[in-house]
Structure 1
Amino acid sequence: MRTVRDRIRHALSFEIIGLMLVTPLGAIAFHMPMHHIGVVSLVGATIATAWNYVYNWLFDHAMVRIAGTVRKTVAVRVLHAVLFELGLLAVLLPFIAWYLGISLIDALIMDIAFALFYMVYAFVFNWGYDRVFPLPVEEPASALGMESAVRAD
């Protein structure tokens, strides 16, 4: 399992590298000044991080109330991901449209592009991170003194 320090390094490097990539790429793709896309990207990353915390807290509480557990089936995980993205979209869409002075349709297209970028980026980043900073080798349970007790009756 990763340490707290490693998780902080992971989160910070993910956001910093992501912003360094998405800002110039977004400026080129949408023909907008880099500083405007930079502000949208930075605000979007900040809101996404806060929303991730709040959303997961709310979702887990709802799961306990409805199902009595936070264990998620594949269907619940799909619902979880879709509702997360819809909630983030509801917050970011008006901000993007307002800040950049574009229509809601153009903001929707931009937001979808950002979401697709981050989906691919997250896959590549996490694969690379695991190669550069591999998980520590965990000892088998028996080496940790957790083996089952054997009784000879």
Structure 2
Amino acid sequence: MSPKNRRVCQAILYEIGAVAIVTPILTFAFDAKVSSTLPLSVLMATIALIWNYLFNAIFERWEAKQTAKGRSWRRRIAHGIGFEGGLVLVLVPLTAYWLSISLLHAFIAEIGLLLTFFVYAIVFTWLFDKIFGLPVSAQEANK
């Protein structure tokens, strides 16, 4: 699979899982209706989808320059921190506005989601790599 197709496939599959996870969490946590939380989840997933594609392109460019190849758990954790950290900057204000809550409450909610998605991102990426193989950036050079 080409690097571009791989990133698109990974991002779409990741966000489908994200909507399935976020919608019930937001519905329960804020005692809100699914008619409110589902569109928010889809909007959050759309933002995350764009960020996922961009972040993975940047990460893989960096990764290709590293002498150590493969994806260690340390590298996977760094990937998860970078990806989720970037989302906080956009999703906290969006959540606060959409649910009519303070930035502090949105940040606290986002921390809960981040913890969930930190684990989800690492496990998802590991499973994706197991099923589709490592990207070229993480493979050993042909000798």
In the other structure, the counterpart of 2:38 is: 38
- Alpha carbons of 1:21 and 1:105: their partners in 2 closer, same or farther (altered >3 Å)? same
Indicate the residue corresponding to 1:50 in structure 2: 50
**Correspondence for 1:96:** 95
Q: Quick one: distance in 1 between partners of 2:50 and 2:129?
A: 25
Structural mapping, 1:1-153, within 5 Å: 3-4=1-2, 5-52=5-52, 85=84, 87-131=86-130, 133=131, 135=133
Alpha-carbon distance between aligned partners in 2 of 1:17 and 1:81, rounded to the nearest angstrom: 16
Give me the whole-angstrom Cα distance separating, in 2, the residues matched to 1:128 and 1:57.
Answer: 19
Tell me, which stretches of 5 or more residues in structure 2 are unaligned?
67-73, 135-141
Q: Secondary structure at the match of 1:32?
A: coil
Measure the CA separation in 2 of the matches of 1:45 and 1:83: 17
Pairs aligned (count): 127
State the 1:107 CA deviation: 0.8
Quote how far apart the aligned CAs of 1:16 are: 0.7
Deviation of 1:86 (Å): 5.2
Q: Please give the TM-score of this superposition, normalised by the length of structure 2.
A: 0.61
Using the TM superposition, give the Cα deviation of residue 117 of structure 1 relative to its aligned residue in structure 2, in angstroms.
1.4
TM-score (norm 1): 0.58
CA distance in 1, matches of 2:14, 2:36: 21
After superposition, give the CA deviation of every residue in 1:39-76 in whole Å (9 maximum; x if it has no partner).
Answer: 222222222333455667899xxx9xxxxxx76xx8xx
Q: Could you say what the CA RMSD is over the residues aligned between the two structures, in angstroms?
A: 4.0
**How far, CA to CA, are the matches of 1:81 and 1:123 in structure 2?**
6
Q: Which has the larger radius of gyration?
A: 1
Give ranges in structure 1 of 5+ residues lacking alignment: 64-69, 137-145, 148-153
Identity of aligned residues (%): 36
Cα offsets for 1:17-55 (capped at 9, x unmatched): 221122113312332222322222222222233345566
Q: Cα deviations across residues 121-151 of structure 1 (Å, max 9, x unaligned)?
A: 12232344345x2528xxxxxxxxx65xxxx
